[in-house]
Amino acid sequence: MPKNLLGRSDSVNSRASHDASSYSGSVPSTSDLVGTLEHDQAVGQLRASYERIPAGAPVRLAKRSSNLFRPRSELDRPGLDVSGLTGVIEVDPVARTADVQGMCTYEDLVAATLPHGLTPMVVPQLKTITLGGAVTGLGIESSSFRAGLPHESVLELDILTGAGQLVTARPEGEHAELFRTFPNSYGTLGYATRLRIELDRISPYVALRHVRTDLDRLGPVIEEIVASGMYEGEPVHFVDGVAFTPSEAYLTLGRNSDAAVRTSDYTGQQIYYRSIQQRPTDFLTAHDYLWRWDTDWFWCSAAFGAQNPWVRRVWPRRWRRSDVFHKIVGFENRHHVAARLNRRRGHADRERVVQDVEIPASQLAGFLRWFDAEVGMRPVWLCPLRLRGSTDWPLYPLKPGETYVNVGFWGTVAIADGAADGDVNRAIEDAVARFDGHKSLYSDAYYDRDTFDRLYNVPALNAVKKRYDPDARLTGLYEKAVTRR
């Protein structure tokens, strides 16, 4: 693609400065930031709520909403009050850092950083994912091939432990072991109240190329881009992709740009994922690029009719967001309206298959072929990732120096005659292990205890838990991820 059509490319690390008005999206004032005094009061409120929980009773967040897909038991006892921990404390554009409260959503965090031409190093796809959730769980996006995972950009964090202590954990020092073990602990060690994170530069626009390739070329092309940061002589700052069919896959290569020939809008009648097949190049504002997947929950809004042109015209734009769709799914999980209608029509029951798995790039083609033959869901999302450094993160043991590809698939499949609900998910877990991959824990998991403990290094978790949660006030990882307590 000629560079004069796409606009001038800018290095991520040396971009010309821009006025805040160059960046589309909400631009907060400094009055929207949380002051230190207000933050201290919110932490005090949190600690007071901990003290109100009866001695020996389990400790949980008093928080109804979630981006997890694991059903949770209803909260029938006092919980931790995190209602005051939802904001940004400070953005330092010179040091390129931000101090952020643990329950702050990425939507609010990006609104505070983008006017400075900055973003978190990794911005997960959905607006209401919280920073604390992405760090104690896992987050990934198209910058992950160079920026790693969200916890790798954390410089320090304050954690309320299961024992009710507030500690500041850093890569070095007294609580370094807690710092390393916190990612993928899912609240089993404590909850982050404040995080200091690194920020990354971003230009006002992102120029996109949608490059079609076949399954066998996906892994090698990804490895080449990871190694060089280039593709066909142009810099690449963002990479993800979509496999629509076994013979039609695309890598979307994003490049920071100071100018745009035009910008597309996928928050209205147009749908982003369909554009990948329809146009070889595109431009989005930085704001719209970061949230390109949220409007239609990738492609899952189709299940609610939101991609039907007639429905879309009357569906309010403010309700075309991932959290709205998630609430609809939650309603269905509680009341099973669609499932009952499905049975009345004589259709087979369906199994929910909502998973993200990390597969080594060298094994990607093999896994996708297995998935096509045995599961058959399409499209699937592809997102390369590579750890930024050599730090050991015990609970999600990705290998430093190895390129992985997150494969995301979200939907349902018919339960075959003689099969049981969960059989497809169990087969996926087995296949991921055979292809030397790893599976995220935000959704259903079916592992037996011994396998789970081995894959997610639960002995290392328990060793740290003995120090910071000696009375086991916080639910264990197996109980959260598999038995759903």
Which one of 427, 446, 465 terminates a domain? 446
pLDDT number for residue 287: 97
pLDDT number for residue 147: 97
Decide if 140 is inside a domain.
yes
Which one of 201, 222, 239 terminates a domain? 201
pLDDT tens-digit series, residues 106-129: 999 999 999 999 999 999 999 999
pLDDT tens-digit series, residues 267-318: 999 999 999 999 999 999 999 999 999 999 999 999 999 999 999 999 999 9
pLDDT number for residue 137: 93
pLDDT number for residue 71: 60
Decide if 391 is inside a domain.
yes
Average pLDDT, the chain: 90
When divided into structural domains, the chain yields a total of: 2
DSSP characters over 331-373: HHHHH-HHHHHHHHTTPPPEEEEEEEEEEEGGGHHHHHHHHHH
pLDDT tier, 411 (very low <50, low <70, confident <90, very high otherwise): very high
Give the pair of three-digit tokens for residue 413.
């499949």
pLDDT tens-digit series, residues 46-93: 999 999 999 889 998 886 666 666 565 555 567 999 999 999 999 999
Those residues with Cβ within 8 angstroms of residue 169's Cβ, 6 or more apart along the chain or in another chain:
156, 157, 158, 159, 175, 176, 178, 179, 182
pLDDT number for residue 338: 76
More confidently predicted of 334 and 95: 95
Q: What is the pTM of this model?
A: 0.92
The least confident of 24-28, 259-263, 288-292 is 24-28
pLDDT tier, 14 (very low <50, low <70, confident <90, very high otherwise): very low
Nearest-angstrom CA–CA distance, 403 and 397: 13
pLDDT tier, 170 (very low <50, low <70, confident <90, very high otherwise): very high
Decide if 170 is inside a domain.
yes
Q: 363 with 216: CB under 8 angstroms?
A: no
Q: How many helices (H) and strands (E) does the chain have?
A: 17, 16
Decide if 265 is inside a domain.
no
pLDDT number for residue 188: 97
Residue 16 pLDDT greater than 80, yes or no: no
**CATH number of the structural domain spanning residue 364:** 3.30.70.2520
Q: 213 with 221: CB under 8 angstroms?
A: yes
Decide if 395 is inside a domain.
yes
Which one of 154, 170, 201 terminates a domain? 201
pLDDT tens-digit series, residues 343-401: 888 778 899 999 999 999 999 999 999 999 999 999 999 999 999 988 889 999 899 99
Decide if 296 is inside a domain.
no
Nearest-angstrom CA–CA distance, 334 and 265: 35
Measured CA angle at 412 (ends 411, 416), to 5 deg: 155
> Cα dihedral angle (189, 194, 200, 206), rounded to 10 degrees?
90
pLDDT tier, 44 (very low <50, low <70, confident <90, very high otherwise): very high
- Residue 195, H or E segment: strand 190-201
Decide if 21 is inside a domain.
no
- Residue 455, H or E segment: helix 449-455
Nearest-angstrom CA–CA distance, 185 and 258: 39
Q: 240 with 141: CB under 8 angstroms?
A: yes
**CATH number of the structural domain spanning residue 104:** 3.30.465.10
- Containing structural domain, residue 58: 27-201
Question: Helix or strand or coil: residue 396?
Answer: coil
Decide if 471 is inside a domain.
no
pLDDT tens-digit series, residues 195-248: 999 999 999 999 999 999 999 999 999 999 999 999 999 999 999 999 999 999
Residue 31 pLDDT greater than 60, yes or no: no
pLDDT number for residue 337: 72
Nearest-angstrom CA–CA distance, 313 and 298: 19
pLDDT tens-digit series, residues 433-444: 999 999 999 999
